[in-house]
Structures are given as structure tokens and as C-alpha cells.
Amino acid sequence: MSAPDRRPILLAGGRVLDPSQQLDLAVGDVLLVDGKIQHAGERIARPDDAEIVDCAGLVVSPGFVDVHCHLREPGREDVETIATAARAAVAGGFTAVCAMPNTDPVTDNQAAVGFIISQAKRAAAARVYPIGAITLGQKGEALAEFGEMVGAGAVAVSDDGKPVVSAQMMRTALEYARTFGIPVADHCEDPTLAHGGAMNEGAMSMKLGLKGIPAEAEEIMAIRDILLARRTGGHVHLCHMSTKGSVELIRWGKERNINVTAEVCPHHLSLTEDAVDGYDTNAKMNPPLRTPEDVEALQQAVRDGTIDVVATDHAPHHYDEKEREFADAPNGIVGLETALAVLVTWLVEPGILTYAQLVDKMACAPARIFNLPGGTLRRGSVADVTVFDPTRAWTVDPRGFHSKGRNSPYAGRTLRGRTVCTVVDGRVVYREAAEATRA
Amino acid sequence: MTGATRLGKDLLALEPLSPEQIRLILDTAEPFREISERAIKKVPTLRGQTVVNLFFEASTRTRISFEFAEKRMSADTVSIAASGSSVAKGETLVDTARNLEAMRIDMVVVRHGSSGAAQFLAERIESNVINAGDGTHEHPTQGLLDLLTLRHRFGSLEGRRVCIVGDVLHSRVARSNIWGLKKLGAQVGVCGPRSLLPNAIDELGVEVFDRVEAAIEWAEALNVLRLQLERMQAGYIPSLREYNRVFGVTRERLERAPGDMLILHPGPMNRGVEIDSDVADGPHSVILDQVTNGVAVRMAVLYLLAGGRPELAEAAKSAGKGRGGDA
């Protein structure tokens, strides 16, 4: 991603917030030179040749890193491409995203990993890190070639979209992944309990006459994975946690120093199963939206560190795929362009999280636990930076998304918090003012 | 379609209806019962109205009941039986909706295997939509005919004890019954193996009986649900034989009921499984009354959605003897 014509960039006069080094300056400067952070701290003299970005009233933080999103390419380029997703990412303040392998064909070999990386380079927006499949074709039968995929640029393995049903396969994956120092990210779902389910099992599913997915479908797999991580010493990363019980199990594991990390999605931190009432397919996702008690437990788990990161599980679908009977509609919502605002609106403004915690969950921790560049403003680090306005109110209009996906349960809602400028590798790849002009 | 009714545009479920709206339908159904008793069972109330019966799921009883109701009110009707789901058919439900709309029909009666399908249609077309059963959600006209049947026998449902016996988990009839009965002041019980009861059933404020003997001791009416035989293969119960032995409504069990007991069944019945023949055909049974009331309730719903006012139901009845009617 080097470019000889890059001018230095001075992000001037913003609140400089970098939890990776306990840095929180009410007013400071960040200077980016040759794709690296050269300075992040007190105000400095303006370099002669630098491009100045006025950040007064804005937060300047490490670029957000999404460890879980679905880019749909290859296979469903009508729904999303790596290029459109990468542009959506930077519009949402994400400088890097990790692409889940459930594409068609599945990303289960080094050539597929290389294809994603080459497409991402052409897109020249967010960094895209492929996640390889755990098993060939995500069939749960034979391990994919972790070593080859890591060599080609994969940063983790996962069969996300599907659980690893076999405990023995999961054990082997955790053991084998240790060789390469990568996390094994698991979609925790017991398929026998979840079979046919379309939403959370409870009073709402009973009222709507929809088959429910019980919380235990997730929790049984979560504790299995934690126990296998204890047995193997491998790093298990639990994807999109959605229940209070899962939080308690993760806490149990961490108290015993088991190598487990976990993520939660903005929608599970903000919405309950009530959003499904009326059969709104934009509220259909897997794991499903749960109860207020679950949402509160997840919020507290983000706050106290039991859950390490917030990830979007960005899952675009074509509008007509969602325009059908609820049980037949696909799971998933888009999330890259609303994640920041959802967290500000539902967690920071009510006082559950500080901005420092928000930045840690969206930038520092995901880079750290997936061993990725970025997630920090330390001198010499990659110049991946997000500038956001923490107070800006805006109404979500999916028609304006950079993603091809329009399936958002937040459509029409007024949220607070908006990305203003995103810098990747020392280059401004998104600037809100320019977007406004373009529009 | 002109004129807002007190029911709104559609009848999709009993859960959102007020007790007054439910009583309105039942009160309107009363005079329509009489029309079915006449030599010429026809009134011109819906003359010029087009009704499409759109059945994506197999149904005999409900479809015929609706067709009778429509024809007795002089509507022009078309019945479409679409096998399987809309997806299997190759056309999406939204495309179906658009086509119906383009044909300028007035009402759609829809039966569909997916919960929420009736609402899905209703939100996308101007025509009135009547839910004739959607997945495991609701079957509101069945619930209404059950209410009408019970009301005839009890006079009022206030404080009466009605127990639904059987596969509540997969039953749209059970949901409509629970909502409707509770709104009219009845006490509701459910009885069945826990594997066929929704986990959150307690949250609906119903009594839960693990043994049918206890349910019979408590209730004044049993609404016996069809055991969906395919569920047995899914492992919800060990065998039909055991189900009959533990949960079957038998004459021996009914004989131990403290008072008179009404027996309802939405049909079709599995005789010898959830209900024994001597119960289904016995003196406690009001199963055939349910069928008769079904036509009247559906006439009432069609009439009210078409813009009819309840006081005009009587007028419709007398008009049928001469000319005219209200539409």
C-alpha cells in the first residue's frame, strides 16, 4: 500500500484518544508521514508540506478494525463486492476488516486468500484481511490448510455461518492453529437445537408462531469451545455472542485464564426480539435478537471487559431476498456504516461506555487479539486513523450506504456519532465533506 | 373498497383485536347463522365484490367454509390452490401479491405455511386480507368460530374455564383460542406433553396441566387439537399409542368430569389418537356446531371488512328475503 506521492497529514486540534497507550488529550495533533504515525499527542508546529485536517471538536482515534464481516465476493457480487464493502468500511470509520470465508467458493485455500487480498488492493479503501475456513468447504469434515492460508495472508480461521459441529474437529483446529498463532473463530450454535429456528425462543416467538432458537443453542457450543481451549491451549474466539448465559460462561473461562476472546455485535447491544414483531425481516439474524436481560448483560460485559471486541457481522443481502416470508428470509443485516453511531447512541450516551472504551472495543482490542497492524497511534505504527464527530445526529437512510446492502433495522432512526474522516496507510480514503459534495 | 370498518382493513389475528372487536364479529355472525338455515341460502350483500381464496397449504374444511360464506353473500369467488410454499412454486409471495393487486380484486383469503404470510400480503396490497391460517401463528376465524360455539352454550364466556389439549406448540388454532378466550374473560388452560407446549406458555397467563385427568377436572370445555402425525417422526412424543394412553380424551376419562363438559375439535380428527370416537360423536361434542358456526363467522368477517356496519347485519338478513342489502 505504499505510494510515493503521499503528503504528510496533520490531523489538527482534535481530541486525541488512544487507549492502547492510555492517551486522551482534549486537544492535540496527530501527524502521519510516509504511511506511519509520526506523532500523536500535544500540539505541534505545522509541517510545511502537510495536508491539514481540522479536527476541532472531533475525536481522533486509531482506525476501527472489524474482525467479522461478510464481503460476499466471490460468488455474490450482486449483493456486495470487496470494493463496495471496503468503501462502506471506511465510511463507517473502519480502516481494516476481516472477511469471513463463507463465500462461493469458500475461502479454504491459499489461492482464494490471495484473490481477496488482490481485490482489496484494487479497491484501495479499507485493509481487508481474509479469514480462512477451518474445514474444507466449511463441511466440517477435513481441516483446511491453515499454514498455506496464513502464508498467503489469512489472519484467522473460522467456519462462520456454520458451527463446527464435531467437538473432535474443533479440538484439532485449536491445536493445529497454535502452530501459526492464529485464533479459531467459532460460530457457536448447536444445530440440533437451532434447527428451523427463525428468531429467539421465548414469548415473542410464541406470539408470532415462529420457531425459536433457544439461548442454549449458543451457550452449549460456547462452553464446549471454552473447555476445548482449556484442553488445547489454543485461542478460541467466540463470534457474535448474544446471551446472558454466554457472558457468564466467558467470564468463567477468563477467570481461569483460558485463552478465550469474544465479540458482540452492535445490534445485539441495542435491539431486542421486539424488533421482530410485525415480521420485520430486517431484524432477522443469527444469532437472533434476544431479550432485554440479554442486552443488558452484553452491555455490561463490554463495559467490564468480559467481551473483548465489537464486531459488525456485516451481512448484506439483496433487498428481494429479505422481501419474503420471515421464516424463508436470509439472516443478517449490514452494519459497517452504522456501528459507530449505534455504540454512541446506545452505550456511550447513556453512560455505559466511555469514548475510550468504545475506541478500545472497536480499534485497539480487535487489532491486538487478531495480531493485526493498527489499533494504535503509537509512533511508527501504520497510519490508520479514524476521525469522528461524537455528537453529530444523523438519520439512517440505507439508500445512502456505500454498501450494496440496504438491510438495516436502524433505517429511519436518528442516531448520534458519525465518521468524518478515515485515513488508511497515511492516505485519506474517506472524508465526509467530500461525500456531501459528491452527493 | 370504501368505508373504514371497526375492524380495520384486514383480519390477520385475534391477538391485536380488542374484546369489543371480537364481540362485534360474534354479534354480527348471529344473524348470519340464520341465513344458512333457509331454503335459499343467499343474500346479495357482497354482490359485485371479488374474493380470491389463496390456499398455499392443503385445506378442505376451511376453504369450503369460506367458499360457502362468500357464495351465500353473492361474492364472485376464485379459489387457487398452490402446492407447497411460494418459493417452491417459483414465484415469490410479493409477486403473487402484486399480481392480485393488478387484477383489482377486493378481498383475499389466504392460507399459508409461513407465519406472518398473511400480514406480509396485507402490508403490500390494498385489498382486504383475511388470514385463513398462517404457519404456526394464528387461525383467527377458527378461533372466532370456537368462541361463537362456546358462547352459544355458555351464554357468556366470562369466568368460564376452557382447556386446550394437545399439540399447542405447532397449533395456530391454539394461539387464536388463547387470545380470544382471554379477551372475552374466560380462564384458559393448556394440557399436553411439555415437548408439545411452548416453553414460554406460562407468560400468557394460562393454567398448564401435565395430565389430562387434571385438565378434565378443572375445565368446562375441552378444545382437543389434532395431533399432527408428522410431529411424531420429529421425536416430540414416543408414539401415537402412548399419546392416546396418556393424553387421549376418552369416554372413561370424561366420565370422571365433575360437571357437563363441552368437547370441541377443529378437525380433522385422528380418532383413537387425541380423541375417541365415542367422545367425538357423543353427547358432549359440539364439533358439528363448530362447522356450522364457521360459515356464519366467516360471513360476518367478510361483511365487516367489506364495510358493513353491525346494525346492518340484521338488515342484510331481512333484505335477503326481498331485494337489496348492504355492501
Concatenate the DSSP letters of all residues of A147-184 into one string: HHHHHHT--EEE-TTS----HHHHHHHHHHHHTTT--E
Domain count, chain A: 2
A101 plus A74 within the same structural domain: yes
Is B268 annotated as contributing to ligand binding?
A: yes
A22 plus A138 within the same structural domain: no
Is B33 annotated as contributing to ligand binding?
A: no
Alpha-carbon gap, residue A176 to A181, rounded angstroms: 9
pLDDT tens digits, A55-85: 999 999 999 999 999 999 999 999 999 999 9
- What mean pLDDT is predicted for residues A23-42? 98
Alpha-carbon gap, residue A279 to A425, rounded angstroms: 43
The per-residue DSSP string of B32-89 comes to HHHHTTSSS----TTTT-EEEEEESS--SHHHHHHHHHHHHTT-EEEEEE--S-HHHH
Does the residue A164 lie in any domain? Answer: yes
Q: Which residues lie closer than 8 Å to A52 by C-beta, 6 or more apart? A: A10, A12, A46
- Per-residue model confidence (pLDDT) at position B98: 84
Domain CATH code at residue A432: 2.30.40.10
C-alpha cell at position B326 = 348492504
A24 is a catalytic site residue: no
Is the minimum CB–CB distance between B253 and chain A shorter than 8 Å?
Answer: no
Q: Which of B6, B45, B46, B1 is nearest to B22 (CA)?
A: B6
- Per-residue model confidence (pLDDT) at position A436: 44
Q: Which residue of A has its CA nearest to B96?
A: A324
Does the residue A3 lie in any domain? Answer: no
Q: What percent of chain A has pLDDT over 70?
A: 97
A147 plus A271 within the same structural domain: yes
Vertex A125 angle, CA A121 and A130, to 5°: 55
- Per-residue model confidence (pLDDT) at position B101: 83
A125 plus A196 within the same structural domain: yes
A196 plus A290 within the same structural domain: yes
Res. B325: pLDDT tops 80? no
Domain CATH code at residue A351: 3.20.20.140
The per-residue DSSP string of A305-330 comes to TSS-EE---B----HHHHSS-GGGSP
Does the residue A375 lie in any domain? Answer: no
Q: Which of A380, A375, A373 is nearest to A64 (CA)?
A: A375
State which residues form the domain around A38: 9-60+381-436
Does the residue A82 lie in any domain? Answer: yes
A328 plus A397 within the same structural domain: no
Is A102 annotated as contributing to ligand binding?
A: yes
pLDDT tens digits, A77-115: 999 999 999 999 999 999 999 999 999 999 999 999 999
A45 plus A93 within the same structural domain: no
Res. B210: pLDDT tops 70? yes
- Per-residue model confidence (pLDDT) at position A21: 97
A76 plus A217 within the same structural domain: yes
Q: Angle between the A244-255 and A215-232 helix axes, to the nearest 10 degrees?
A: 10
A209 plus A265 within the same structural domain: yes
Alpha-carbon gap, residue B14 to B182, rounded angstroms: 11
Does the residue A430 lie in any domain? Answer: yes
Res. B326: pLDDT tops 80? no
Res. B88: pLDDT tops 70? no
Structure-model confidence comparison of residues B11 and B327, the more confident one:
B11
A232 plus A283 within the same structural domain: yes
Chain A residues interacting with chain B (CB cutoff of 8 angstroms): 201-203, 205-212, 214, 278-279, 320, 323-328
C-alpha cell at position B222 = 375441552
Contacts B203 to A, Cβ<8 Å: 203, 206
Q: Which helix (H) or strand (E) holds B237?
A: none
Contacts B114 to A, Cβ<8 Å: 325-328
pLDDT tens digits, A265-282: 999 999 999 999 999 999
Distance from CA of A322 to the nearest CA of B (A): 11
Distance from CA of A17 to the nearest CA of B (A): 46
* CB–CB contact A279 B115 (8 Å): yes
A44 plus A80 within the same structural domain: no
pTM for the model: 0.92
Does the residue A1 lie in any domain? Answer: no
Alpha-carbon gap, residue A364 to A308, rounded angstroms: 10
Residue that is written with C-alpha cell 408470532 in the block: A208
Q: How many CA atoms lie within 13 A of A69 on its CB side?
A: 36
- What mean pLDDT is predicted for residues B39-46? 90
- Per-residue model confidence (pLDDT) at position B89: 52
Boundary of a domain, candidates A369, A401, A419: A369
Q: Which residue of A has its CA nearest to B118?
A: A325
A352 plus A275 within the same structural domain: yes
Question: Where residue B4 falls among pLDDT bands split at 50, 70, 90?
Answer: very low
Distance from CA of A104 to the nearest CA of B (A): 22
- Per-residue model confidence (pLDDT) at position B318: 58
- What mean pLDDT is predicted for residues B177-205? 96
Q: Which of A240-249, A377-386, B121-130 has the lowest mean pLDDT?
A: B121-130
Is the minimum CB–CB distance between B226 and chain A shorter than 8 Å?
Answer: no
- What mean pLDDT is predicted for residues A300-325? 96
Does the residue A374 lie in any domain? Answer: no
Which B residues 136-155 touch A at CB under 8 Å? 136-138
Boundary of a domain, candidates A369, A390, A422: A369
* CB–CB contact A208 B137 (8 Å): yes
- What mean pLDDT is predicted for residues A135-141? 98
Q: Which of A186, A294, A313, A360 is catalytic?
A: A313
Alpha-carbon gap, residue B175 to B15, rounded angstroms: 8
C-alpha cell at position B131 = 388470514
Angstrom CA distances, A40 to A17, A30, A135, A380, stand at 9, 4, 42, 10
* CB–CB contact A325 B85 (8 Å): yes
- What mean pLDDT is predicted for residues A229-253? 98
Structure-model confidence comparison of residues B124 and B321, the more confident one:
B124
Boundary of a domain, candidates A325, A343, A369: A369
- Per-residue model confidence (pLDDT) at position A437: 38
Mutate to test the interface with B, among A208, A274, A291, A293 (most CBs of B within 10 A): A208
Question: Where residue A5 falls among pLDDT bands split at 50, 70, 90?
Answer: low
* CB–CB contact B116 A279 (8 Å): yes
Alpha-carbon gap, residue B271 to B273, rounded angstroms: 5
Does the residue A428 lie in any domain? Answer: yes
Q: Which helix (H) or strand (E) holds A207?
A: helix A203-208
Q: Find out whether the peptide bond into A4 is cis, omega within 30 degrees of 0.
A: no
Alpha-carbon gap, residue B147 to B153, rounded angstroms: 10
* CB–CB contact A325 B114 (8 Å): yes
- What mean pLDDT is predicted for residues B141-158? 97
Res. A308: pLDDT tops 70? yes
Question: Where residue B93 falls among pLDDT bands split at 50, 70, 90?
Answer: confident
